Amino acid sequence: MKPIRQLAFVVNEKKEGAPALARELTQIARASAVALKQTTRFPLPKGYLEGSDACCVIGGDGTLLGVARESARCQVPIIGVNRGSLGFLTTFSADEARSQFKSLLRGEFQIDQRAMLECSTGRGPKELALNDVLLKDTVNSRLVRLGVFADGELVTDYTCDGLIFSTPTGSTAYNLSAGGPILHPKAGVIAMTPICPHTLSNRSIIFRENVKLRVFNRSGESRLLVALDGQRNLKVSAQSPVEISMSTWRLPLAQRADYSHFAVVRAKLKWSGELIAKT
């Protein structure tokens, strides 16, 4: 990658150690003659990343999700530094960021293009989600009845607490908690996982990435909540279907050259297994 000359920082001040780490990394960047700007706002305002070569996000995965739309639209790589809990997306630890920041500024990293979903409700614009799109009743205790169509063909009607439509990146988030499958980030698929379905045979379904999904609210008395990445809610009229598909936009995520997805999964989910040296 080319060297970074314009760098944007997004810092979650609520995360312990994040402001102090930001000061350390900005000092390193200034010493390398990198032009800087910094904000504690996320989701980012439109246009904030224009002209930047990269964006360093210091916080947790939720902080990074608040930057993802703008990063994808401007094609500005995100360097995620974890000051949260799990950190599936913010893959650099604080110590790794300190020790490797000069080399990152020299462009010594690889880019992983992460798939995103786009979702629309009625005549509204299409919105982007990196992890997932959630459909549920606006009242938490109510069941919903949702009819799902894939490329115009009825899949089934679900009676459940909600449906999660997940990218491979988001498969380790809400989808996993609801019993859905873990997907490799490069898998070209969309996972649909029902939440507490009332039919025991209703399990996750994996669709190819170019599928066009439409979901209809079959519960006349219910109003749907459509949540994107757990951060943004879309309004849904009673008769309008929710349309979900894979976006042409991709999130450029900066990673170490030796990044291993399954090493991250083993560490974060506390799986067993150790590497055996090759002879």
The C-alpha atoms of residue 206 and residue 155 are separated, in whole angstroms, by 12
Active-site residue identified among 53, 61, 112, 132: 61
The C-alpha atoms of residue 267 and residue 263 are separated, in whole angstroms, by 6
The C-alpha atoms of residue 80 and residue 128 are separated, in whole angstroms, by 19
Query: Closest by alpha carbon to 49, among 12, 10, 76?
Result: 76
Tokens representing 204 are: 């996750």
Residue 131 burial (CB count, 10 A): 30
The C-alpha atoms of residue 215 and residue 204 are separated, in whole angstroms, by 15
**DSSP string for 35-72:** EEEEE--SSPPTTTTTT-SEEEEEE-HHHHHHHHHHHH
Q: What angle do CA 44, 47, 51 make, to 5 degrees?
A: 115
The verdict on whether 61 is a catalytic residue reads yes
Instruction: Give catalytic residue positions.
Output: 61
